[in-house]
Chains A and B, each alone.
Chain A
Amino acid sequence: MGVTILTQFPTENRTGPQTIDVLSKRIMALGAVQQGQFLVDCETYTSVPQLGPQRTVHVLHNSEQPATVFSLLETGSKTIPLATDGLFDLLMMKMSSFYTSKKQTKAESKGPRYEIGDFCVKLGTVTVSSNFKGILVEVEYKPCVVPAMCWDLLKEFLQGFLGLSGPTNPPTYLQNRMQEIYSPIDTIHQYLEHFTLFRKSPGIGMRP
């Protein structure tokens, strides 16, 4: 597990599949090899009014960690992350009388997964309740675990591959955590940040 940077790629006036096509051609030209598909999904549950002040639980799955269910509990003042095994999904079903999910908020990002050297590149098409919202590009540099050390290197890689659309600053979530050891839950935080933005945006998502 290395440092992962998640960034949105503007579709401009192309459709989603066209954009994915453009990006996959670019990455293949750089010498990447496709290694299957990936999927990150997010479902949001809100507490019923009887439980007091409203709390939100985001339950996420990442195909990179297939045996783990990540959940983030938002209490309003803070966010509590939790990594559990697959049984957590069943537990949420049992608690459906306390936490209800709105089906139209189910967000997911899926698409091809590429490997190039020690990098892993994922080109995700984001849909919120099966409406296309935008493109998320995930780049992981697997050997390094401290974001501050490899940020410049990742920025160079992203700019080489996304051109001017590449990020110039680290993701907001990572900015306070640049010196800490990176873990999979940090990737989940970044996905949730983007999914929340996509849900709020009408129609096709814009670059934040």
Chain B
Amino acid sequence: MERDLEQLNSALNSVKILRSNVRRVFESVSNGLRADHGDDGKESKYILELQELLTTVNNNLRDVENSMSNLTPPPGPFSLGNTTYLSQETTQERQALYGQLVNTYKWTDKIREYSALAGNILAANSFNKTYKTFSTTKRRKTQTSNHNVPPEVIENLITSIDRLFPDVTITTNSPFVPNPVIQGRVLKAIIAFKGLMIEWVVVKAHAESNDLWTESRYKVFRKVTENCHAAMCHFYSPMMPELAVRSFLHWFHSYNTLFSAPCKRCANHLHNNLPPTWRDLRNLEPYHEECK
């Protein structure tokens, strides 16, 4: 590389010298006979001078040819497919585009090279802080997309969960958007799924409509809806969406004692005229909003 640059420099230098000497030839040709050639034999003097100059040019030319032969030819034009046409752009502000494009390409190429190197080095010295290890089968599962799953998969999941809880019925009533409705004797919940993940939950009274967009008219169900949103975020796990849905619904099932279970802490049913609307996320114990 270093040697190449030196040779290129010397080649350029010799070209420069050649050009300046050629220039001198033309100067003297254009000027013709001058005063400093004297009076006698001025023509032969002039011819001598010209001859001298031409010899230098000749020498220089040989130098250029020598240094040229030393140079390694470049590996052909740098082509980026059709984008090469950008270099033929006529409008002024776009002329620079191709140059920038080539630079960017080179830059990303370098990044790839360096990151591959860094990756190799880091893989050799692992510094995991967690004990969590995923087995290969689980890791393969994460490769599948959770956002775009066929509706049958969701329906199968819902029917399998429905079988888990015999005291509630879970129905999917819309053919295109599977928003299952969970209906028990205590309350009713409408859940919107996005792929396999829970997107929205609304809890309503037994007799209220199945509309996803209006909240319940009762304070207690509005509070439960709020808590469901918190739990929905708590159980959210894009790695294992089925497990997330299952654990959410398992937690949600604890609301079948919404009106009948007293608060675990204050042992009362009512606080602020509301029953215990919070269920612990781990042990599913009922608590008032203020007691948890």
Chain A interface residues toward B at CB < 8 A: 1, 30-31, 116-119, 141-146, 148-150, 152-153, 156-157, 160, 181
Contacts and interface: CB of A to CB of B under 8 A. Distances in A.
Contact of B218 (A31, A142, A153): A142
Nearest to B272: A117
Interface centre among B205, B259, B270, B274 (most CB of A within 10 A): B259
A119 B185 contact: no
B185 A153 contact: no
B272 A181 contact: no
A116 B269 contact: no
Contacts of B80: none
Contacts of A157: 269-270, 273
Nearest to A153: B269
Contact of B185 (A1, A117, A145): A145
Contact of B270 (A144, A145, A148, A160): A160
Nearest to B257: A149
Interface string B170-190: 000000000000000111000
B206 interface: yes
B260 interface: yes
Contacts of B274: 117-118
Interface in B247-263: 257-260, 262
A117 B220 CA distance: 8
B262 to A, nearest CB: 7
Contacts of A1: 207
29 contacts: A1-B207, A118-B218, A118-B219, A118-B220, A118-B273, A118-B274, A119-B273, A142-B205, A143-B205, A143-B216, A143-B218, A145-B205, A145-B207, A146-B186, A149-B185, A149-B259, A149-B260, A150-B259, A150-B260, A152-B269, A153-B259, A153-B269, A153-B270, A156-B268, A157-B269, A157-B270, A157-B273, A160-B270, A181-B185
B221 interface: yes
DSSP class of B's interface residues: helix, strand, loop or mixed?
A: loop
B221 A143 contact: yes
A143 B216 CA distance: 10
Interface in B100-145: none
Nearest to B224: A143
Contacts of A149: 185-186, 257-260
Given A117-B219, A149-B260, A152-B260, A144 B273 contact: no
A130 B266 CA distance: 46
Given A142-B218, A146-B186, 20 more contacts: A116-B273, A117-B274, A118-B219, A118-B273, A119-B273, A143-B216, A144-B186, A144-B259, A145-B185, A145-B205, A149-B260, A150-B260, A152-B262, A152-B269, A153-B259, A153-B275, A157-B269, A157-B273, A160-B270, A181-B206
Contacts of B268: 156
B209 to A, nearest CB: 15
Interface centre among B216, B258, B270 (most CB of A within 10 A): B270
B167 to A, nearest CB: 12
A142 B273 CA distance: 12
A117 B273 contact: yes
A163 to B, nearest CB: 16
Interface centre among B218, B272, B273 (most CB of A within 10 A): B273
B156 to A, nearest CB: 31
